[in-house]
Structure 1
Amino acid sequence: MANKKLDDYLLQSLKSGNDKGIKEIYNRLYPKVKSYIVSHDGSEDDAKDVMQKALLQLSARAQDENFKITSSFEGYFITICKNLWRRASKLSKMRVTNEGVMDLVHEEREIALATYEQEKWELFQEKLLEISQNCREVLAFFFNKVPYVQIAEKLGYGSENTVRQRIFKCKSKLKEAIHADMRYNELKEF
């Protein structure tokens, strides 16, 4: 099956609840999800939970007629899993556990919050592609915490001050693009 055909098949399987297609998703993607989570302080049970939540989240989002995946199905799904795991890891570090206390976090609320975060991430990624190539490069260095001196050297800027100004301008352009999108107000209201 060609990649686009396979991607469409896997997404349609989630939409319709096709057991054969969902099993195909598990067979293809679970080993990668498990590998990522185990290498980031998780267990196999954590990987199974994340896989299940990702399937539920994507299945719910796929029901929207306007929903489409612009990357590969695999890339999109793995990103959902990584975001879910990061969120779960962050929450577990903040949570105090006690054998006699029940966890009050509801599964539906968790899925809704994870979906919300995924939608914000997608909006950010989409708008990042709309700004200039130079801005994307500058911001990539900035987001990866590369020192200003190194950014200036790599991109041929005269000084750290020039890098600071460029980062400020690029962040402003990105922020402006995000705020101009109608989805921003919808996401902000949540």
Structure 2
Amino acid sequence: MTDNSFYLDALVNNDERIIKVIYQNNFFKAKSFVMKNSGQQEDAEDVFQKALLQMAVRYKNEKFVIKNSFEAYLFTVCKNLWRRELNKSKYRVTNNEVFELKDDNQDIALAVLEQKRWELFTESLELISENCKQILKLYFAKLSYADIMDKFNYKSETVVRQRVFKCKNSLKAYVKKDKRFKNLTTL
């Protein structure tokens, strides 16, 4: 049994001792991220709790495997959940009160779906050429075409645009070729 499944089993079995260790070792990272991105202590607590619940529910339903460390996976789930919360808050219309109808089961299902999509994306990114991987990472980090051109010594920004286009298509092909893709298109 790997450490990852050990922690996941502890979540599913509600092992308070191990869950306390998970909190002690990981909460501060999630809290730091949330607070640096427009959140409060309570938001971080909610996100961390949702992340643990999401992971437990998913692991109970399908014994998934975490390919990197449990800590990195948990942090990624927390980041994705917080970004999702920030995006949802952009679309809320408020007068003097906030009205929010929440279906926790649907919210968890959507969060799990987003996490699975993220996993497929990152796994597919590892399959493309090293050059494409580097170019797309810079592109996704919003580096300008001019900066990418300088970094790779390309002749023009047009060449960079073409390269980004080809690399995105290559990544897209790997994503669509994966057997999980069809199941991740809708909830």
TM-score by length of 1: 0.91
More contact order relative to length (CA 8 Å, sep ≥ 6): 2
Could you say if the C-alpha distance between residues 18 and 159 of structure 1 is closer, same or farther in structure 2, counting changes exceeding 3 Å?
same
| Match runs of 1:100-139 below 5 Å | 102-139=99-136
Q: Tell me, what secondary structure is at the counterpart of 2:185?
A: helix
Q: Tell me, what secondary structure is at the counterpart of 1:23?
A: helix
Q: Does 1:82 align with 2:75?
A: no
Instruction: Find the aligned partners of 1:140 and 1:114 in 2 and give their Cα distance.
Output: 24
Could you say if the C-alpha distance between residues 165 and 13 of structure 1 is closer, same or farther in structure 2, counting changes exceeding 3 Å?
same
| Match runs of 1:1-190 below 5 Å | 6-98=3-95, 102-190=99-187
Which stretches in structure 2 are left out of the alignment for 5+ residues? none
1:187, distance to aligned residue in structure 2 (A):
0.9
Instruction: Find the aligned partners of 1:72 and 1:6 in 2 and give their Cα distance.
Output: 8
Runs of 4+ in 1 over 6 A off after TM superposition: none
Cα RMSD between the aligned structures?
1.7
TM-score by length of 2: 0.93
Which stretches in structure 1 are left out of the alignment for 5+ residues? none
Q: Tell me, what secondary structure is at the counterpart of 1:82?
A: helix
Does the Cα contact within 8 Å between 1:9 and 1:21 map onto a contact in 2? no
Q: Which amino acid aligns with 2:155?
A: G
Q: How many residues align?
A: 187
Q: Percent identity at matched positions?
A: 44
1:133, distance to aligned residue in structure 2 (A):
0.5
Instruction: Find the aligned partners of 1:97 and 1:173 in 2 and give their Cα distance.
Output: 42
